[in-house]
Structure 1
């Protein structure tokens, strides 16, 4: 579904990515792991066509969706191919209500005749959002904003859901709820690309992990492989 080959990118004259390799098939859950500042968010921005909006660009290598190159496409065209993003920092519309935030992105990019995700389905997944549906984004807690961000991405009915720092800064109960939701999505066959620092949680959820260090892919493997590789965790993941 999505593949990156020798991806290089940067901002201005500063190179950040030096050769990222990654692939995700339909229904897979894959994590992108690495310490802060190693290029994870830049990789996501490159995939989504968002680098130009922050002064960056893809320098070389390939990004393909279903085998077709997408590097250089504007962000809205990438989204139309079925990639839904839950960005770092949530970025909900502060002056719109919960319901308006969700409806603002509603589309059917799944390829199915009938969309899986409707307003009612998102509310069933996140009952708290239905309770808060008239509240503006600025009046929500961090956890509620993250639920809105996930719900907003699901309302595009994506073929691939991408989450940048899925549970960062959230209270333990909210984190547990988010992990439960992601597990349910996986069980339904939703393809997911995930960035998060909780190794225990991502190891339970993901099919494969991709580790990057200083903008390069340095390791790829399953959760069992990661558990059996303390040197990988010590060298590339632990602070």
Structure 2
């Protein structure tokens, strides 16, 4: 589904990523972990074409998209739930969802009715503007907006940042349900224990380099990794 090979990237003369290798298979949930400032969001920005790679290769479903424009990468089937949600504040919930609707890969799995079934709260608030929603509702809308592109892969950058614990649990339940639907997911978040309950594999970054990778069972049992690289 997604293959990132030997990726170097950064901002101007500053190199942030060094030789990143990352793969996500169909229906697989992979996490990108690490403390703040270690290169997680930069990795996402490079995958999405928001910053150009200095070296390496990025491909989606066998198609080489290294250096492609962001809209080309979105068209290839990557849906992004960005850090900070970034929904359209003056559009209604329904307008936010319709704005990104697309069906590029045969019959659409996700349409507005299915999004409302998945997130009943969005249906209740469908006429409200984006800036009238709570943080949790905005995150649900951001996920729904990404799903409306009918992506092959959905990426979530800081999936539950700034949300109350009860809302975080709703988001984890949502992602678990999406996995059961067969969605491929790459997720960044600081809640390692919650991620370990449903993710297939984990990748840990430290200063722009991958320093550990493994399964949820391996992550749970390796306290040294959590203490050294994931202590927030």
| Aligned residue number for residue 54 of structure 1 | none
| Aligned residue number for residue 5 of structure 2 | 5
Matched, 1:141 2:131: no
The correspondence of residues 88-103 of structure 1 with structure 2, limited to 5 A, is 88-103=83-98
Cα distance, 1:58 vs. partner? 1.2
Structure 2 CA distance, aligned partners of 1:181 and 1:204? 13
Q: Detail structure 1 runs of 4+ shifted over 3 Å in the superposition.
A: none
Structure 2 CA distance, aligned partners of 1:196 and 1:82? 22
Matched, 1:126 2:131: no
Match of 2:186 among 183, 193, 196: 193
| Aligned residue number for residue 65 of structure 2 | 70
The correspondence of residues 39-118 of structure 1 with structure 2, limited to 5 A, is 39-51=39-51, 57-109=52-104, 111=105, 113-118=106-111
Structure 2 CA distance, aligned partners of 1:156 and 1:66? 16
Two-structure CA RMSD over aligned residues (Å): 0.9
1:7-50 deviation digits (Å, cap 9, x = unpaired): 10010111111111110000000000000000000000100111
Structure 2 CA distance, aligned partners of 1:19 and 1:218? 11
1:173-230 deviation digits (Å, cap 9, x = unpaired): 2111111111111011110000011011100010000111100111110001111211
Asked if the contact 1:107–1:156 (Cα under 8 Å) also holds between the matched residues in 2, the reply is yes
TM-score, with length taken from structure 2: 0.98
Structure 2 CA distance, aligned partners of 1:12 and 1:96? 35
Match of 2:230 among 226, 231, 237: 237
Q: Give the paired residue count.
A: 232
Matched, 1:14 2:7: no
Higher mean C-alpha displacement, 180-189 vs 65-74: 65-74
1:82-119 deviation digits (Å, cap 9, x = unpaired): 1000000000001100000000000014x2x3211010
Cα distance, 1:234 vs. partner? 1.1
**Unmatched segments (≥5 aa) in structure 2:** none
Other structure's SS at 1:205 match: coil
**Unmatched segments (≥5 aa) in structure 1:** 52-56
Cα distance, 1:67 vs. partner? 2.9
Matched, 1:26 2:26: yes
Asked if the contact 1:63–1:70 (Cα under 8 Å) also holds between the matched residues in 2, the reply is yes
Matched, 1:37 2:30: no
Matched, 1:208 2:201: yes
